[in-house]
Amino acid sequence: MSDRILGGIGLALAIFYAISAAMIQESFMTDAIGPKTFPYIISAVIAIASLVFICRPDPNPAWPALNRLAEIGFAVVVTMLYAWVLPELGFLISTALAAGYLTWRLGTTPLASILVGVGTSVGIYVVFHLVLGLSLAEGPLGF
């Protein structure tokens, strides 16, 4: 039963996401793909995954222990904080902190988490900003 509830919530989220994507204003100077394509793809993937949960639920779902649910809750809070501080701290600092915390909670050592956080942040910055030329949130250091 819990899988179907999760699937219903996911399907509602996918529909909301698709409706929100449809409301994106397009400029007269857009590329062939346009700004709506990626949100539509995400919406479709969420909808397909949700339908799998609805149509083929696990007969004996195993819920995680309370401490694991708390870990999931903290991960959600970190993700929300990431979106909140991104404009203030910039992409590099925000991403390094969020990725470092999340990898640490997934079981890496603190030093490895710092290295993964910084490496993820710099790697994504290089690919998306320097190679592809996309603008990312600038932080207090100007990058």
The model's pLDDT over 40-89, given as tens digits with 9 standing for 90+, comes to: 999 999 999 999 999 999 888 888 899 988 999 999 999 999 999 999 99
- To the nearest whole number, what is the mean pLDDT of the chain? 90
Q: Are residues 126 and 73 in the same domain?
A: yes
Angle (CA) 49-54-55 rounded to 5° is 95
Q: Assess if residue 143 is contained within a domain.
A: no
Q: Report the pLDDT value the prediction gives residue 137, as an integer from 0 to 100.
A: 86
Total domains in the chain come to 2
Q: Which of 32, 55, 78 is the last residue of a domain?
A: 55
Residues 70 and 112 in one domain: yes
140 in any annotated domain: no
Burial bucket for residue 14 (CB in 10 Å: 0-12, 13-18, 19+): buried
Domain of 43 in residue numbering reads as 1-55
Is the same domain home to 106 and 77? yes
